[in-house]
Each structure stands twice: as structure tokens, then as C-alpha cells.
Amino acid sequence: GQQVMQIPQYQHVQEGEDFTTYCNSSTTLSNIQWYKQRPGGHPVFLIQLVKSGEVKKQKRLTFQFGEAKKNSSLHITATQTTDVGTYFCAGSNFGNEKLTFGTGTRLTIIP
Amino acid sequence: KAGVTQTPRYLIKTRGQQVTLSCSPISGHRSVSWYQQTPGQGLQFLFEYFSETQRNKGNFPGRFSGRQFSNSRSEMNVSTLELGDSALYLCASSLEGGPQNYGYTFGSGTRLTVV
């Protein structure tokens, strides 16, 4: 079945440093979504990417979808304490409504 | 508008018992999915319901079941609880086209502890 892996599993950064998490699928995806889960909270939808090579930005967050539609990345510039949480990618295959979540990357910020 | 509402927020049950969790989706959302979240396994898909029918199913044993009512509210049931069922159970709703097209709105979850 479809597998979605994320690296790294954990990331500790100094406040103000950049952060990147990578998402890799074993199969070609029809689209990819990103979610953020704050400690003690629930996942919150951030964005969806659909096109090959697509890049979208939300303030300090940059999302990319790979040309082969098998990988994606989330980059945060100049992290802040509010960025703390676990970031999940989630992908679906063509013709399959099920979303498969990645293993997540937990980001902690050192003030 | 109101978000996804899950009840109860916390539950403690004994091994062998059964439990029913409830989820009310966002108004207008007819797709409801359930996930199990544990520290070791991440977010594991249980099942998705749409128009009172199970549309997708994950790889969980038959002890895990669910249903959806005509008002889109959903329940999931776990019978013969095991210690390993301790987890955060998340309900997520989506527009009719499904989460793969519109994304999920998650509820706050039900924290189930089996002792």
C-alpha cells in the first residue's frame, strides 16, 4: 500500500533559524496536503498542492510539490515560537479518496 | 460556524469493555473520517463515511466499527478493548468531494485510556 515518509522525525532549531521538512511517497500522488498540530491540539489544514512543481507561500512558509509528484517539502523561514508543533503531509493517489498521512516532523524552538 | 465536535473529550475504560465515540461534523460536511493517533504509529486511518455508507476503510480489526446517521453525525465503536487501543481518536470532516480534494477539518479528539 501507499507509504508516506517524512524526514526528519524531530528537529530542534534556535529561534530565527530556518526549518525544512521533507515528505516522500512510494507512489505518485494526485495532490499533497500539509497540516500542523500544536502540542496538545489537533491537526489543522494548512495548504494543498496539486500541480507538478507547484510552489505556494504563506507568509514565512513555503510549500513545494516535486516534479514527479512523489515528494514535497515545507520550509519555514526565520522560525518563531509560534511555529512549534508537528507538521504532517498527507497524500492521495489518483482514483482513491483515502488520504495517507506522513509520519510527521516535530519542530521544537529553542528561544 | 461551529467546528467539528467530538464527545467525550476523555474516557477511561477497562480491558474487555466497549466504547462509543461521537462526532458532529461541520454543517454541510457530509464526509466524516476517523483516525487513531498514537506516539508510535502516528495518524492511522480507520474509516470514512459518506451519506451513511462506509466509503473507505483502513487496516484495523473488526472490533473497530462505525456508522453515520442521516444528519451526517458519526459514531465509532470499539468492542473488547485492549490496552493497545489507548490513543487519541480524531474525527475529521470534509466537503462532499472528499478530503483528497478539500482537506480535513479535525475535531479536538477523544483521548481514550484503557486500563
pLDDT tens for each residue of B21-36: 999 999 999 999 999 9
Mean pLDDT of B2-14: 95
Residue of B nearest to A38 (CA): B108
* Plot region of B47 (φ>0 → left; ψ -120 to 50 → alpha; else → beta): beta
pLDDT of res. B3: 92
| Residues with Cβ within 8 Å of residue A68, at least 6 apart in sequence | A28, A52
**pLDDT digits 0-9 by tens, B46-58:** 999 999 999 989 9
Q: Hey, what amino acid is at B4?
A: V
A20 pLDDT higher than 90? yes
Q: Report residue A2's pLDDT band, with 50, 70 and 90 as the boundaries.
A: confident
Distance, CA of B103 to CA of A32 (rounded, Å): 10
DSSP B59: S
Is A97's CB within 8 Å of B98's CB? yes
B90 contacts on A by Cβ (under 8 Å): 42-43
Burial of A40 (0-12, 13-18, 19+ CB in 10 A): exposed
In tens, the pLDDT along B73-84 reads: 999 999 999 999
Mean pLDDT of chain A: 94
Q: Spell out which chain B residues touch chain A, with contact meaning CB-CB distance below 8 angstroms.
A: 33, 35, 42-43, 45, 48, 55-56, 58, 90, 92, 98-101, 103-109
pLDDT confidence of residue B1: 64
Which of B48, B55, B104 has its CB closest to that of A45?
A: B104
- Residue % of chain B over a pLDDT of 90: 84
Residues of chain A neighbouring B42 (CB-CB closer than 8 A)? 88, 101-104
Q: Which residue of B has its CA nearest to A48?
A: B103
State the pLDDT at residue A109. Answer: 96
- What SS3 class is residue A106? strand
Which pLDDT value is given to residue A92? 87
Q: Which residues of A touch B (CB under 8 A)?
A: 30-31, 33, 35, 41-45, 48, 88, 92, 96-104
Q: What pLDDT does residue A53 have?
A: 97
